[in-house]
């Protein structure tokens, strides 16, 4: 997700029973993710849990937590997500906080940040949930890892080597190697950095050093491609599925199949918001469905900002028919609680927020009744 919502309050407390199912053990088989425990197809459906990417940077915690007795998300919170009939949670991370570079994390220390991530993954797994770990905020050396960069940088392979080493024995974890690769335009709408598929795969291009919310200043860094990140994960001995996001903030998968690295455990990562270019059924049929016939597709983020739920409902129904997973942005309560905000929670007791939250919860409940 492009926008940073620093200070958002992640939910929450619920005195209710948690999920009893064990977390899945995932592998890519053909065009599906499969839980090897049962041999059944596994379609990730759930939510994003933001905060590990920004709380450490801004210096008030490793992540957000609504429980005043702890600075860490709790098992109760994990069980509440499972009560929505979600089966997967995507957890965005901060490159600098995980590596302990450039003065990060601003809160605590690097060992504490890593331990907090491990603890949250374990709690989610105990609630029966798979976890997607996502490189969300990053930056080249000497630059603050705040908000999103266009492509991975020279430290991103080190990040993934370390994360993969940490979680390589956990088959309920999937690695999402870079959140939203993008081209960059200036204030006049002129293209100043064109992210080609060749650079997406192999790196070597020079995107702006500034993040996507900052004005251009002429500085650049050398991008690292997806092939190098895949190599970093595999060289660490991790064999789990790997998600690779397309261009244009993960909304363009047009040449994904012909440019993917050589690896048999790849998943195409698609992001789908109502204002992105590929937001219609015709575009999904033309560009996403053909990929889903070849490899698994997971919508790492989706949502709607027009105070309606027509887009999210249409997409969930379309995706269900094709075995495509989806994870809503996001499981938090925003201080500005308008209907245009991308939040699925209305309050810290877990009440779904209209329209995105009510649509998601009702849809997941309907799917659960069919099983």
**If you average pLDDT over residues 24-31, what whole number do you get?**
98
Q: What is the pTM of this model?
A: 0.95
**If you average pLDDT over residues 231-247, what whole number do you get?**
98
Average pLDDT, rounded, for the chain:
93
pLDDT of amino acid 6: 42
Name the most confidently modeled range: 60-74, 238-252, 337-351.
Answer: 238-252
Task: Of 29-38, 50-59, 133-142, 329-338, give the lowest mean pLDDT range.
Answer: 329-338
Residue 26 is assigned to a structural domain of this protein: no
**If you average pLDDT over residues 55-59, what whole number do you get?**
96
Distances (CA, A) of 174 to 11, 183, 214, 261, 340: 23, 26, 31, 17, 30
How many other CB atoms sit within 10 Å of the CB of residue 77?
Answer: 26
Helix or strand (DSSP H, E) at 52: none
Residue 259 is assigned to a structural domain of this protein: yes
pLDDT of amino acid 335: 75
- Residue 153, Ramachandran bin (φ over 0: left; ψ between -120 and 50: alpha; else beta): beta
State yes or no: pLDDT of 22 exceeds 50: yes
What tens digit of pLDDT does each residue of 134-145 get?
A: 999 999 999 999
What tens digit of pLDDT does each residue of 302-334 get?
A: 999 999 999 999 999 999 999 999 999 999 998
Residue 35 is assigned to a structural domain of this protein: no
Task: Of 10-14, 134-138, 286-290, give the lowest mean pLDDT range.
Answer: 10-14
Taking alpha carbons only, the member of 370, 366, 364 closest to residue 129 is 364
State yes or no: pLDDT of 67 exceeds 60: no
Q: Say which DSSP state 96 is in.
A: H
State yes or no: pLDDT of 286 exceeds 90: yes
- Alpha helix positions (H), 209-355: 226-235, 247-250, 256-259, 281-283, 289-292, 310-320
Q: Give the confidence band of 336 by pLDDT, cuts at 50, 70, 90.
A: confident
pLDDT of amino acid 69: 54
Q: What percent of the chain has pLDDT over 70?
A: 92
Residue 19 is assigned to a structural domain of this protein: no
Q: Give the confidence band of 14 by pLDDT, cuts at 50, 70, 90.
A: very low
Q: How far is CA 355 from the centre of its chain?
A: 21
Task: Of 16-25, 37-46, 234-243, give the lowest mean pLDDT range.
Answer: 16-25
The C-alpha atoms of residue 54 and residue 92 are separated, in whole angstroms, by 9
Residue 7 is assigned to a structural domain of this protein: no
pLDDT of amino acid 246: 98
Residue 18 is assigned to a structural domain of this protein: no
Number of domains in the chain: 1
Structural domain that includes position 168 = 40-370
Return the residue matching tokens 């005195």.
Answer: 15
What tens digit of pLDDT does each residue of 196-226 get?
A: 999 999 999 999 999 999 999 999 999 999 9
Q: Give the confidence band of 4 by pLDDT, cuts at 50, 70, 90.
A: very low
Distances (CA, A) of 148 to 141, 183, 212: 15, 12, 6
pLDDT of amino acid 291: 98
Q: Which residues pair with 252 in a beta bridge?
A: 247
The answer for residues whose C-beta is within 8 angstroms of residue 186's C-beta and 6 or more apart is 192, 216
Q: Compare 119 and 20 and report the one with higher pLDDT.
A: 119
The C-alpha atoms of residue 58 and residue 146 are separated, in whole angstroms, by 9
State yes or no: pLDDT of 72 exceeds 90: no
323: CATH: 3.20.20.80
- Alpha helix positions (H), 219-323: 226-235, 247-250, 256-259, 281-283, 289-292, 310-320
| 3-state SS, residue 110 | helix
State yes or no: pLDDT of 115 exceeds 50: yes
Give 160: exposed, middle or buried? Use CB within 10 Å, 0-12, 13-18, 19+: buried
Residue 6 is assigned to a structural domain of this protein: no
What tens digit of pLDDT does each residue of 142-167 get?
A: 999 999 999 999 999 999 999 999 99
**If you average pLDDT over residues 230-240, what whole number do you get?**
98
State yes or no: pLDDT of 38 exceeds 70: yes
Residue 29 is assigned to a structural domain of this protein: no
Q: Give the confidence band of 350 by pLDDT, cuts at 50, 70, 90.
A: confident
State yes or no: pLDDT of 10 exceeds 80: no
State yes or no: pLDDT of 11 exceeds 70: no
């Amino acid at each position: 997700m492009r926008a940073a919502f620093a200070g958002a309050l992640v939910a929450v407390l619920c005195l209710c029973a948690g999920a009893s199912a064990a977390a899945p053990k995932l592998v890519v088989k053909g065009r599906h993710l499969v839980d090897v425990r049962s041999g059944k197809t596994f379609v990730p459906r759930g939510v994003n849990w933001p905060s590990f990417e920004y709380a450490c940077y801004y210096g008030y915690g490793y992540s957000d937590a609504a429980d005043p007795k702890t600075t860490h998300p709790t098992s109760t919170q994990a069980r509440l997500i499972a009560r929505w009939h979600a089966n997967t949670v995507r957890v965005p991370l901060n490159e600098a906080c995980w590596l302990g570079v450039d003065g990060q994390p601003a809160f605590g220390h690097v060992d504490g940040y890593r331990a907090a991530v491990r603890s949250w993954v374990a709690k989610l797994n105990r609630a029966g949930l798979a976890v997607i770990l996502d490189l969300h905020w990053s930056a080249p050396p000497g630059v603050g890892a705040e908000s999103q960069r266009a492509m991975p940088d020279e430290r991103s392979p080190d990040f993934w080597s370390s994360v993969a080493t940490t979680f390589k024995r956990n088959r309920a974890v999937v690695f999402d190697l870079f959140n939203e690769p993008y081209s960059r335009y200036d204030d006049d709408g002129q293209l100043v950095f064109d992210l080609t598929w060749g650079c997406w795969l192999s790196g070597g291009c020079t995107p702006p050093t500034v993040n996507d919310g900052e004005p251009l200043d002429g500085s650049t860094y050398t991008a690292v491609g997806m092939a190098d990140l895949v190599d970093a994960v595999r060289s660490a001995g991790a064999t789990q599925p790997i998600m690779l996001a397309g261009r244009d903030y993960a909304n363009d998968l047009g040449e994904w199949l012909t440019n993917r690295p050589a690896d048999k455990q790849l998943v195409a990562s698609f992001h789908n918001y109502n204002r992105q270019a590929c937001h219609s059924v015709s575009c999904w049929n033309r560009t996403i469905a053909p990929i889903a016939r070849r490899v698994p597709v997971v919508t790492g983020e989706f949502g709607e900002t027009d105070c309606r739920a027509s887009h999210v409902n249409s997409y969930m129904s379309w995706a269900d028919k094709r075995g495509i997973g989806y994870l809503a942005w996001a499981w938090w309560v925003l201080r500005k609680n308008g209907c245009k905000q991308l939040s699925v929670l209305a309050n810290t007791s877990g009440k779904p927020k209209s329209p995105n939250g009510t649509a998601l919860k009702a849809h997941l409940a309907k799917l659960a009744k069919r099983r």
